[in-house]
Every structure is written in C-alpha cells, then in structure tokens.
Structure 1
Amino acid sequence: MRPELKNPSKSPPFSGIFYDYTTLGRKNMNSIALIVRHKAKPGMRENMRATWEAYVKPNAQSNPEHLACYFCYDSDNSDGITAFQIFTSAQAKEEFLKSEWYPDYLTEVSKFISEPPQITTAEIMWNKNEKGA
C-alpha cells in the first residue's frame, strides 16, 4: 500500500508514480554513503585487506562521525573489493578523507590495485534502523 503524499503541491516530478521521499522519515538523513570499488592486482587482495585494516579500520572505529564501515570481498570477482562507509554528513566524510594518515594509506594501497577505484557518494534517503522510519 502506497502512503499518501504529505505535500502534493510541492512534490517532485514523478510523485504520482513514486513516493515523496522528500517528506518521509528524514530525521537523520543527512548521512552520506561512500562506496569504493577496488580491483586488486592478481593475488594481492589479502595485501589490500591488511593495508585497509592497518589504516582505515582503526580510524573508522575511533571516529564517532563514522556510522558504519564495511570491507567486502566481491563474491563473483576474486580480485574485487568493495568498501562501504556511512558518515553522519558530507563534511564528516571530507574530514575523514583529509586525515593526516590518509595520504600514507593511498600510497600503500596503490601498490596492490590494478586500476583507479570506482568511487560513489550517495545521500541516504532511508535506512531500516531509523526509528519511526
């Protein structure tokens, strides 16, 4: 069952087809997702993981602005890695990426990847853990 639009006169295009996400459950929706896809050189995925665990993992764990952080091996690509992170805001993401240790991390990672990463930033519009969502 589709919910009624809260502000039909201010609805975005397609509001007759899709939900009006501009007014539904937006309490903590300034959060930003950062998705980074790497292709490791053959046989170097474990080296990439060790580098990520040495640099990103401890800094993400100690950063209160880092809501979630995942390091994943792609299921269908033995050289593929996807890192998925959620920050409280775009500013928090930028501050994390400008940390003192980050250039060293990039230098180390570059030894193990076969091409530049694919990077996507996305504004989170909904998540199932949001109270009242």
Structure 2
Amino acid sequence: MTTTRLDAAVTLPGEDFSRVALTADAVELLRKLWARHGALMFHQSGGCCDGSAPMCYPAGEFQTGAADVLLGRFDIASDDAENAGAEHQPVDFWMSREQFAYWSHTHLTVDVVQGRGSGFSLESPDGVRFLVRSTLMNWPA
C-alpha cells in the first residue's frame, strides 16, 4: 500500500469532510481480519477501559441504533494492480452518540499498536490492538 492513511467516506448529513481515517497498518490488519472473519465493523463507545478503544466486530454483530452515529465508511479492498476489480470491502465506523458529543471537534485516526486489546475485538488474538489517535478538526472554510 502506498498511502499512509485511508480517509473514510463522509456519512454525516450536511458534512463534506472525513471525520475518521485508518493508518496503513490498520488497513493491512483489517484486510487480514476480513479474510478470516468476513465483513467487519468498528464501534467506539464511551467510558473507560475497553470502552475507550475502537472495537472491531464482524459486521452486524454489534447492534447499532439511535444511540449511535455512523462517522464514516472505509473501503479496504486492495488497490494494487493484481487485485483490480476486486469486490468492495466496506467497514463502517460507528460511535456512541454520547461519545460523539465529546469528540465532535476531533478527527480520529485508527492505528495498530502492540499489546493485548479487548477479548471481544477481533484483533485481540494477534497480540495487537486498535487505538484511536485524535487531533483537533481543521474546520473547512
């Protein structure tokens, strides 16, 4: 992969900027997880401990509803020439509405670090965990 980050497609009504991105390492890990588990999704809840890390689940395993916000949608399908024409591999990134109220002024980047994450998140057996890095939004003019 030649890019250093993958921005999510915009999903919030009235916005024209991405609120969440993946590092190249996160994309690589998600492709491995997709091969193992099929379609994927993220959910970022509020709180402490595992609730403050983005959790990766098989798509639809975590039930979302009115208490959640869809912040973005990634397509992690390989962009190299040998896989041209491959199917889309969408990964939705959800956040609890309550948490979004606190983080609405930040841009989030999902990265991968060494260490044990939650037992419920799919990357846990690999000895790595997803981590969100936040920066203040650069509001569009």
User: When the two structures are superposed, what TM-score results if normalisation uses the length of structure 1?
Assistant: 0.34
> Which structure carries more strand by proportion?
2
Larger Rg: 1
User: When the two structures are superposed, what TM-score results if normalisation uses the length of structure 2?
Assistant: 0.33
